[in-house]
Amino acid sequence: MTAYVVRRLWQLIPTLLGVVLLIFFLFNWVGGDPAQVLAGKISNQEQIDNIRKQLGVDQPYWKQLLIFCKQIVTGDFGRSWSTNEEVSHIFVTRIGPTLTIILPLQFLETVICIFLGLGVAYVRGSVLDRGVMLACTVAMSISFLVYIIVGQWLFGFLLGWFPVQGWSDSYWKNVVLYTPLPVFLALLVSIAPTLRLYRSFFLDEINQDYVRTARAKGLPERTVMFKHVLRNAMIPILTNVAIALPGLMIGTFLLEKFFSIPGLGREVITAVERSDFPVIKAITIYLAVFTMLLNLTVDVMYKWVDPRVEFK
C-alpha cells in the first residue's frame, strides 16, 4: 500500500501542473485585462498602466507563470485586489464556516440515504418504494431557492425557531443556533437524488448470486442486508461522496449568501463580482489539491471496505 500511495502522490504533480497551466491560460487570455476592470470606465491609459504595474501583469507571460508557481509552492498568493487582505488569511478565516456547514451536511446525507436506500431496496416494487421514489422526483423538481425562501419564512419568521441570518465567533453557538436551518434545507434538496442513486447501488447487489446464497444458508435478513449488501455497495457510495464533497465546498454559496455565513462560497461570489483574480486563483488551486487528495484517500479506503481490492 505504501508504494501505491507514493506512486499516486507523484502522479499528483503532473496533474497539478496541468491545472496550473489551465488556470493561468484562462485568467490571462480569456479573463480579460484586470487593470481595466479595476480602473473602471472613467480612466485614462496612464492610470491603467500604473495599475498593471502594481498588479504585475505588465511582465512577460513566462515570468507571470513562474510567479504563479512560486505562489502555489509557498502558499502566498499575495493580497486581494479589492480588499487588500492577504489571500491566505482570507482562506484560513473562511474555511471554518464552510466546513461547519458541509461536514454535518455530508455526514447526515450519507447516513440517512444509506439507511433509507437499504429500506426501499428491501421492499422494492412495493407501494412504499414507489411512494418514496415519487416523493424524491417531486423534491428534485423544486428549485433550491424555493427551499431557502420558504424555509426562512416558515422556520425563521413565522415559527421563530432559528435565526434567518447571522454568524458568531463561537463554534458551538454556530453549530446549535446558526447551522441547523441551512443544513436542514440543504438536506431536503440533496437527499432525493442521493437516495435514488444509493437505492440503485443496493438493488445491484441484492440481485447478485452471493446474496441468494447467503439467504439459502439461512442467514437473518438483517445480516444479509448489512454485512453483505451494504458492505459491497460501499465502494460506489464512497466514490459518490468523493465526487460530491468538493462540489459542496463551492456549492454552499447560496446558503452562505442567503444566511450571511462568512464562508468560502460567499467569498467566491464576492471575488467574481469584483474580478478579484488572486482570491479566485487561490481557491481554485486549493480546491484542486483537495479534490486530488480526497480521491487518493477514498482509493485507500476501498481496501478497508473490501479486502479483495488490490492496489496496482
CA distances from 122 to 117, 199, 200, 220 (A): 8, 9, 11, 13
The count of other CB atoms within 10 Å of the CB of residue 17 is 12
Write out pLDDT tens, residues 90-129: 888 888 888 888 888 888 988 999 888 888 888 888 888 8
More confident residue, 145 or 47: 145
Write out pLDDT tens, residues 148-206: 888 888 888 888 888 888 788 888 888 888 888 888 988 888 888 888 888 888 888 88
Q: How far apart are CA 225 and CA 308, in angstroms?
A: 19
Q: How far apart are CA 50 and CA 174, in angstroms?
A: 44
Q: Is 79 helix (H, G, I), strand (E, B) or coil?
A: strand
Domain boundaries, the chain: 2-74, 94-305
- Class for the domain spanning 94-305: mainly alpha
Q: How far apart are CA 257 and CA 175, in angstroms?
A: 18
Give the mean pLDDT of the chain.
79
